[in-house]
């Protein structure tokens, strides 16, 4: 069984419906978006071939990121016999698991690291105008989450699936000043 990658395709889908949000472990998990329409992008397409009596049979998998570019992001993975159906399944999967990310203006509130499998990623806040300094997989998650100025460094495996999941894990660890004040019950002077 061989796995190959194919160039990603970008698309935009507006989301009309709205639903209430619920708290989940380290971030807010939203069932649907209330304000801005959701956009999606394909991070990577995987092609798998199976050898059968009549030749090769191909199937495809799509790694997709969905977000509103203002603090809400989700990732999804879909598999099908055709690329468009795989992308559609990936988008549907991503919309089921949307998370709210703590941002401070255009950047993240503090330095954080995310880990998934053999991949570790460092996310460092940057000054305005820096942009998203990241590889294509991490860039997709950060841009669709609404981060506009950030520095990143990936250690270990650079597999797209691992980098996307590690980046999302790092973003979910972020806490802003108001959250920390509420948790500790004290006022923080910076």
Q: Encode pLDDT of 122-171 as tens digits.
A: 999 999 999 999 999 999 999 999 999 999 999 999 999 999 999 999 99
Q: Are 78 and 51 in contact (CB under 8 A)?
A: no
Q: Is there a common fold for 2-100 and 112-183?
A: no
Angle in degrees, CA 102, 106, 112, rounded to 5: 50
CA 57 to chain centre: 30
- pTM score: 0.77
- The domain ranges of the chain are 2-100, 112-183
| SS3 state of residue 178 | helix
Q: Are 35 and 21 in contact (CB under 8 A)?
A: no
Helix, strand, coil abundance in the chain, percent, nearest 5: 25, 40, 35
Closest CA to 3 of 42, 44, 46, 43: 46
pLDDT score of 81: 95
Closest CA to 101 of 176, 188, 17: 176
pLDDT score of 116: 94
Residue 13 has which token pair? 């889908």
Place of tokens 């209430």: 20
CATH number of the domain at 2-100, please?
Answer: 3.30.160.20
CATH number of the domain at 112-183, please?
Answer: 3.30.230.10
pLDDT score of 177: 80
Q: Encode pLDDT of 75-92 as tens digits.
A: 999 999 999 999 999 999
């Amino acid at each position: 069984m061989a796995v190959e990658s194919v160039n990603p395709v970008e698309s935009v889908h507006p989301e009309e419906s709205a639903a209430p949000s619920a708290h989940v472990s380290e971030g807010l998990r939203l069932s649907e978006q209330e304000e801005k329409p959701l956009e999606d992008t394909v991070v990577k397409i995987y092609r798998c071939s199976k050898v059968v009596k009549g030749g090769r049979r191909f199937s495809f998998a799509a790694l997709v990121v969905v977000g509103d570019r203002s603090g809400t992001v989700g990732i999804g993975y879909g598999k099908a016999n055709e690329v468009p159906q795989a992308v559609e399944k990936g988008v549907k999967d991503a919309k089921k698991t949307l998370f709210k990310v703590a941002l401070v203006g255009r950047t993240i509130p503090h330095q954080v690291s995310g880990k998934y499998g053999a991949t570790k990623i460092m996310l460092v806040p940057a000054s305005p105008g820096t942009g998203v300094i990241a590889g294509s997989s991490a860039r997709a998650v950060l841009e669709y989450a609404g981060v506009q100025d950030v520095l990143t460094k990936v250690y270990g495996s650079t597999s797209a699936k691992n980098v996307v999941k590690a980046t999302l894990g790092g973003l979910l660890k972020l806490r802003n000043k108001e959250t920390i004040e509420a948790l500790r019950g004290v006022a923080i002077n910076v």
